[in-house]
Amino acid sequence: MRWLETACGCVLILIVLRDAFETMILPRRLNGRLRFTRFYYRLGWPLWAWLARHLTRGRQRETTLSLFGPLSMLLLFVIWAVGLVFGFALVYLGLGSPLQTSEPLRGLGMDLYLSGTMFLTLGLGNAVPHTNLSRTLAVCEGGMGFGFVAVIISYLPILYGGFSARESNISMLDARAGSPPTASELLRRHAHDRAQLQSYLAEWEHWAAQLLESQISYPVLGFFRSQHVNQSWLAALTTVLDACAFVIATGDDACTRQAQLTFAMGRHAVVDLAQIYLRRRPTEVRERLTNADLERLRGELAAAGWGVSMDDTRRHRLLQLRNLYDSHVQSIGLALELEVPAWIGNADHLDNWQRSPWDKSPAPDIRSHY
Domain final residue pick, 93, 111, 130: 130
The answer on 87 and 235 residing in a single domain is no
The answer on 318 and 251 residing in a single domain is yes
The answer on 233 and 95 residing in a single domain is no
Say which residues have a Cβ less than 8 Å from residue 150's Cβ, sequence separation at least 6: none
The answer to whether residue 101 is domain-embedded is yes
The answer on 224 and 325 residing in a single domain is yes
This prediction has a pTM of 0.86
Say which residues have a Cβ less than 8 Å from residue 166's Cβ, sequence separation at least 6: 207, 210, 211, 214, 221, 233
CA 284 to chain centre: 22
The answer on 212 and 117 residing in a single domain is no
The better pLDDT of the pair 171, 359 is held by 171
Domain range enclosing 50: 3-130
Domain final residue pick, 130, 147, 177: 130
The answer on 245 and 111 residing in a single domain is no
Domain final residue pick, 81, 109, 130: 130
pLDDT band at 57 (very low <50, low <70, confident <90, very high): confident
Across the range 347-360, mean pLDDT stands at: 74
Q: Per residue in 339-353, pLDDT tens? A: 999 999 877 778 877
How many structural domains compose the chain?
Answer: 2
The answer on 62 and 166 residing in a single domain is no
The answer on 97 and 7 residing in a single domain is yes
Q: How far apart are CA 121 and CA 282, in angstroms?
A: 48
The answer on 183 and 111 residing in a single domain is no
The answer on 337 and 191 residing in a single domain is yes
Q: Per residue in 213-263, pLDDT tens? A: 999 989 999 999 998 888 999 999 999 999 999 999 987 677 889 999 999
The answer on 91 and 30 residing in a single domain is yes
With H, G, I as helix, E, B as strand and everything else as coil, classify residue 234: helix
The answer on 335 and 279 residing in a single domain is yes
